[in-house]
Amino acid sequence: MNRLRRFVPSPALAIACTALFVAMGGSAYAAVVISGKNVRNYSLTGKDIKKDGIGGVTVKESRLATVPAASSLANSAVVTAAGQFVRGKNVTRAVRTSTGQYQVAFGGNVQGCVSVASVGDTSAAGPPAGGQATTSGLATDGNVVRVRTTDGNGGPAVDRPFSLIVSC
């Protein structure tokens, strides 16, 4: 009886042999590659592609166009504590009206836009110690954004350099 047991295959050998026979029998799966010539324009939707199914290797970045919303970020300004315009886009003037109060005028109406300002040095140096900046529109001129700078505790207005972005 012991002589016959040594000819009985182990479970691992049985599984390996079964897998070999199935593979050799022609039962195999092929991956389907979808290319631009196989798909009509705009016929694929988000539900046709599994989550994270298209990644960095699949997407040719050189064929991507500019995002339309990115061009709306055409209004920006970097202003010194004295109210002098240093750099930015679409700015017609920047002026300090009183301590910690500034007005930045742009080349078009920015009333319906979002404006965000932050205290920061006009060079590559770090921001000045403490400081906050708030923005608001100017009721009498839709092209102007008002900026108020304060110390870090929200106290009285103090002169601070700032960066301003207006997105429409």
Q: In angstroms, what CA-CA distances link 32 with 49, 51, 63, 67, 96?
A: 13, 17, 23, 31, 64
What are the tens digits of pLDDT across the range 91-118?
999 999 999 999 999 999 999 899 999 9
pLDDT of residue 27: 45
User: Which residue reads 């009333």 in tokens?
Assistant: 111
> Which tens digit of pLDDT belongs to each residue from 32-50?
555 555 566 666 676 767 7
Predicted pLDDT of residue 20: 61
| pLDDT for the residue 110 | 93
Q: What is the pLDDT of residue 130?
A: 76
Query: What is the model's pLDDT at position 3?
Result: 58
> E strands within the chain?
75-79, 85-89, 91-98, 101-106, 114-119, 132-138, 141-150, 162-167
Say how far apart CA 83 and CA 53 lie, in whole Å. Answer: 50
| Segments of the chain with pLDDT less than 70 | 1-44, 46, 48, 52-61, 66-73, 126-129
